[in-house]
A and B are shown apart, each in its own frame.
Chain A
């Protein structure tokens, strides 16, 4: 019986945790299959994620080895005295406070550049600041998107020649783009899981969000803030076009937006 807990803490629990975290990428439980995201910034975020996972993983396994050792030696001790009172060990306390403190400090500095690039407007890449493609309006329960007319800049107020879409955000691939995120009702969250982008949409605010799709293709866009009974309906997609085809596509969209049906005769 005494050994049972030793087996549990040293063998079952940490071994299970390591096995599961190794298997997870293959099972697609929210891990990227290849460890690669669909955007350059996402790669940095993945790197941070795995770094923290490895640090905490080593600490987790180490603590369990220590715990197992304590249980093992205690269960071998003769006599029926089970525990004794101790005031603690000052050196030990200092060690296990300072080391994690240093690790946290390291992480805090290490992630600063990535975080700033993602969230601080002044650290955005220059190209992202130049290339504001659309205004994304979240609402219960869809994404309404407003684009400026080809060759024009996005204005805060809707313009006569703006173009509109729903649940499909069209962007050029291979360069950073910015969207202006708004909500017309409650709080939503603009989530591009494969690009590691997540930003809440807050009533009354216009929040610039930049991202870059590495390759042309379709990427999921979902709402990551429980916004009401239809939250699950807010599935949409980002369509990244080859850069050389993007302008042509926007021109076609403009024609479709201002279709007067006459040519259809």
Chain B
């Protein structure tokens, strides 16, 4: 009997082989993942919760089908087309201006890029006349056929007879293709820390200090833009390429340019989705959070009265969702889109108005001192108060790290010390450690002081409490701190200095 027919072989090896094959196959299967809704959304009254969730799903899709309204400044990827003619008599046909080159359109989704405000008016008008929404179901449009000769698109469903569909209307075929690419890259490189929803709560996040960024507030720490501005695309790409030393965020320099750009877009997409959710929760939650009703019912015992209050609450809520909510949702998103758009404006980027003086040369702000010396005086001084957090010797041990700080709602945090906007405890940077998270070029450190670090207690000093020349002196002082050459105790305390000097 040949050896492969022996019982020994069959009993042991075959099952083993099968098991290992199966294990290999299941290991590669894609995990079904969904965007998670925030806690605040879950705490809204049921109908309100439903409405917010619907807005998010309709506008931002799911990880398997990410989408974003076209007015957001995200490169979402699409084949751009323009309507040449539309005849309401033939509602399933659309004549387009012939695109350059060959395009594969059949089977692709088609979006009609109405002006969002015009489309909103049309829908509202129909609602007031108690007509069905004419734009309903337009997000399901698919191209059934395309005649390249005549430029005629045949659709799987008829278009409504509305004035919005006219020559010159922009179309997007196969929309959001870049977002889908971004999602794949994000799943591969980022998701395990930053989470499917971008809430900084992926499976490996629990091992990390500091915590991975939660994008949903739209706050990114290290930007070149002004204190109130969002992060620019270049800022996000810079962090991806350079990483953040001193944290778990590694450098992704080896990724090709195109992949970096897809990732930046996807991260922005997650931030916009999260911010939209947050903005809606604030607007809706003010009157229609579950706890609002609970508070109203707190001292009421009469069952009839309870019913009455509940009915009133629900009636008000239904009216709100029908009449006010759509407007809030749309204009909230439009504002958000504008804010993100502004961050990529050339004017939003902060540049110093003066050059950096030599660290050991004379200071421009105070020519009687060298730049580093003046930086030290400012560091300890009342205007900047750097030492109150970063410590007299720059070791990140200022007195604020031992004080109880207040939450945004006015209550005390559980532990003393500083906290970021996500309520995580936060240590001021030890400036002697020679680690600069936001970059170590002079311009990087200048911007950290000028525009602050977003989402953290590090304020923006630029244009308000410090001049650019003064900031340069502090930059020079901070840059020399980790080195032996930096002045530490050889100078007397500055006039009006906060705290003691040289207590090391």
Q: Footprint of B on A, CB under 8 Å?
A: 1, 4, 140-142, 144, 157-160, 164, 166-168, 229-230, 233-237, 256-265
Contact among B245, B351, B434, B482 for A262, CB-based, below 8 A: B351
Tell me if A260 and B355 are in contact (CB < 8 A). yes
Please tell me the number of chain B residues within 8 Å of chain A, measured between CB atoms: 36
Closest to A260 in B: B356
Report the minimal beta-carbon distance from A185 to chain B, rounded to whole angstroms: 11
- Contact status of A164 and B440, CB under 8 A, knowing A158-B434, A262-B354: yes
Closest to B483 in A: A160
Is B201 an interface position by the 8 A CB rule?
A: no
Is B242 an interface position by the 8 A CB rule?
A: yes
Tell me if A265 and B351 are in contact (CB < 8 A). yes
Tell me if A158 and B483 are in contact (CB < 8 A). yes
Q: Is the interface of A mostly helix, strand, loop or mixed?
A: loop
Residues of A within 8 A of B66 (CB): none
Report the minimal beta-carbon distance from B276 to chain A, rounded to whole angstroms: 31
Tell me if B446 and A159 are in contact (CB < 8 A). no
Contact among A142, A157, A158, A168 for B250, CB-based, below 8 A: A142
Is B480 an interface position by the 8 A CB rule?
A: yes
Whole-angstrom CA separation of A34 from B417 in the bound complex:
61
Tell me if A166 and B1 are in contact (CB < 8 A). no
Report the minimal beta-carbon distance from A48 to chain B, rounded to whole angstroms: 31
Residues of B within 8 A of A166 (CB): 242-243, 245, 251, 253
Residues of B within 8 A of A164 (CB): 440
Contact among B1, B243, B351, B446 for A142, CB-based, below 8 A: B243
Tell me if A159 and B483 are in contact (CB < 8 A). yes
Tell me if A140 and B248 are in contact (CB < 8 A). yes
Tell me if B351 and A160 are in contact (CB < 8 A). no
Tell me if A158 and B351 are in contact (CB < 8 A). no
Whole-angstrom CA separation of A229 from B202 in the bound complex:
14
Given A140-B250, A166-B245, A168-B253, 19 additional A-B pairs, CB 8 A = A1-B2, A4-B2, A4-B3, A142-B250, A157-B483, A160-B359, A166-B251, A234-B250, A256-B441, A257-B440, A259-B442, A259-B443, A260-B442, A260-B443, A261-B352, A261-B446, A263-B355, A264-B351, A265-B353
Tell me if A262 and B356 are in contact (CB < 8 A). yes
Tell me if A141 and B254 are in contact (CB < 8 A). no
Is B179 an interface position by the 8 A CB rule?
A: no
Q: Which of B367-397 contact A (CB under 8 A)?
A: none
Whole-angstrom CA separation of A233 from B254 in the bound complex:
9
Whole-angstrom CA separation of A102 from B410 in the bound complex:
82
Whole-angstrom CA separation of A142 from B482 in the bound complex:
23
Whole-angstrom CA separation of A140 from B209 in the bound complex:
13
Q: Is the interface of B mostly helix, strand, loop or mixed?
A: loop
Q: Which of B1-39 contact A (CB under 8 A)?
A: 1-3
The 9 closest A-B pairs by CB, nearest first: A261-B443, A260-B356, A262-B355, A142-B250, A167-B253, A166-B251, A260-B442, A141-B250, A142-B251
Is B479 an interface position by the 8 A CB rule?
A: yes
Whole-angstrom CA separation of A262 from B354 in the bound complex:
6
Report the minimal beta-carbon distance from A39 to chain B, rounded to whole angstroms: 21
Is B90 an interface position by the 8 A CB rule?
A: no
- Identify the interface centre among B204, B248, B250, B482: most chain A CB within 10 Å of its CB: B250
Residues of B within 8 A of A233 (CB): 189, 250, 252
Tell me if A167 and B355 are in contact (CB < 8 A). no
Contact with A along B241-259 (1 / 0, CB 8 A): 0110100101111100000
Residues of B within 8 A of A234 (CB): 250
Q: Which of B437-479 contact A (CB under 8 A)?
A: 440-443, 446-447, 472, 479
- Identify the interface centre among A1, A4, A167: most chain B CB within 10 Å of its CB: A167
- Contact status of A235 and B479, CB under 8 A, knowing A4-B2, A260-B356, A265-B351: no
Closest to A256 in B: B441
- Identify the interface centre among A1, A159, A160: most chain B CB within 10 Å of its CB: A160
Whole-angstrom CA separation of A256 from B440 in the bound complex:
11
Is B485 an interface position by the 8 A CB rule?
A: yes
Closest to B242 in A: A166
Tell me if A258 and B253 are in contact (CB < 8 A). no
Contact among A236, A263, A264 for B254, CB-based, below 8 A: A236
Q: What are 23 A-B pairs at a CB distance below 8 A? A: A141-B250, A142-B251, A157-B483, A157-B484, A159-B483, A160-B359, A160-B485, A164-B440, A166-B242, A166-B245, A166-B253, A229-B192, A233-B189, A233-B252, A256-B441, A257-B440, A258-B442, A259-B443, A261-B352, A261-B446, A262-B354, A262-B355, A264-B351
Q: Which of B158-216 contact A (CB under 8 A)?
A: 189, 192, 204
